[in-house]
Amino acid sequence: MSAFAIDLGVGAAGINLHLKANSPYMKHRLGGWMPADPLAFRGFLKRTVEQVRKNKNLSREACHASIRQLWDLIEKHADVRMLFTLMLEQVPVTPPYNTNPAGGPEFRDWKEMLYAFDQQLSQGPIWLFDTEGQMGLIGFPFNAFLVTPPLPFPSPLPPTPSLPQTNSPHQDWPMGTPAGISAFLRPDINKCIRDMLNEYGAFLKSPASAHVLTDSPEGWFNQTALQAMSEVADPPPETKPFASIFKCDPSAPAYGFTS
């Protein structure tokens, strides 16, 4: 998957992201690899959280090697376990932080978070640009579990029409909580995260990741996706067909791509 979709740079192509006028959220995330509007997180996170909670066979032993490594670090070091526990507990209790983008409570505990990480390690990025303003791409899924688009600081006074209005970033959660900041400054935790991302990178280069290279609505070869990617590589008005731009075989499964 990485050799095709990620190197293509769809998310970094300057695609215009829009928010509704009354949205309190930040209107921009660099590169477009994460949705600008938090509503675009809903489907992705809701499915992930529901799948994790429905899976009755979850255990440390069933997790990927990098997840077991992080699990052991948390369990064997009281200070690390405290940070991962507190980063969930320190999420503000005021709206809208008191509910997560999945429409329910945050992860119940750090184990549930790790199970979500583990599930993602065998899931390729699906096509989610068929949304208003093309806001749905979750290019960095692990970020979606740790952060949400930041809020502006609440203003004590009504806005003044004659003055420019600004969006000052509030903290992301749970990574942006005091415990989260402390946790992700630690070299031992960052080593585990690096190993997890390396394991995900190996999956994206493997044939197993090609399950998202289909013509389904969430596959990267449906007609909307093919046209959008062609326009990124060869901007209109004289955009060439996808097969004329990329080395591929439209008659073969996954257009001949192996990952």
5-45 pLDDT, tens digit each: 333 333 333 333 333 334 444 444 445 555 555 555 656 66
Q: How far lies 102's CA from each of 99, 116, 139, 218, in Å?
A: 8, 13, 18, 19
Beta pairing partners, 169: 152
Output DSSP code: residue 238.
S
As a whole number, mean pLDDT of residues 127-145 equals 63
Say whether the peptide bond before residue 174 is cis (omega within 30 degrees of 0): yes
Q: How far lies 18's CA from each of 10, 28, 30, 67, 110, in Å?
A: 17, 9, 13, 35, 33
As a whole number, mean pLDDT of residues 90-110 equals 61
pLDDT tens digits along 200-225: 999 999 999 999 999 998 899 999 88
Of residues 168 and 227, more confidence is placed in 227
Q: How far lies 197's CA from each of 6, 66, 203, 206, in Å?
A: 14, 9, 10, 14
* Residue given tokens 């090697």 in the structure block: 65
